Amino acid sequence: MLWVEIDWSICHECRKCLAKPSCPVRAIVKPDPDEAAYIDLDRCYGCGKCVHACPFSAIQLIHVNRSGKGCGAIIR
Ligand code: SF4
Ligand code: SF4
């Protein structure tokens, strides 16, 4: 199964996440300009559009197990 993760060692923590508008199901969450963005895996279906939208290549497609539990796909 394909999902995505934001690599926070690469992410610039832009005040306005430039990849966020690319997500058709609003799975990229950035609650506050000063907080890091993360992927809501309950919404994400792995289309990959956000991967191309981040100008810093901080979002990567990953393979996760079928349940998605314990996969570490959301990292801080
Ligand atoms: S994921 Fe990309 S666009 Fe979004 S805050 Fe991080 S570096 Fe910026
Ligand atoms: S892979 Fe698709 S659904 Fe998942 S966060 Fe990126 S744009 Fe949204």
Give residue ranges with CB within 6 A of ligand 2: 4, 22-23, 25, 27-28, 39, 44-50
Identify which ligand lies nearest to the alpha carbon of 39. Answer: 2
Per-residue model confidence as pLDDT tens for the chain (76 residues)? 777 889 999 999 999 999 999 999 999 999 999 999 999 989 998 899 999 999 999 999 887 665 544 343 333 3
Backbone angles phi, psi at 62, to 5 degrees: -135, 160
Identify the residue whose C-alpha is closest to ligand 2 atom 8.
23
What are the structural domains, with CATH classification, of the chain? 2-63 (3.30.70.20)
The pTM of the full predicted model, rounded to 2 decimals, is 0.82
Q: Is 16 left (phi over 0), alpha (psi -120 to 50) or beta?
A: beta
Identify the residue whose C-alpha is closest to ligand 2 atom 2.
47
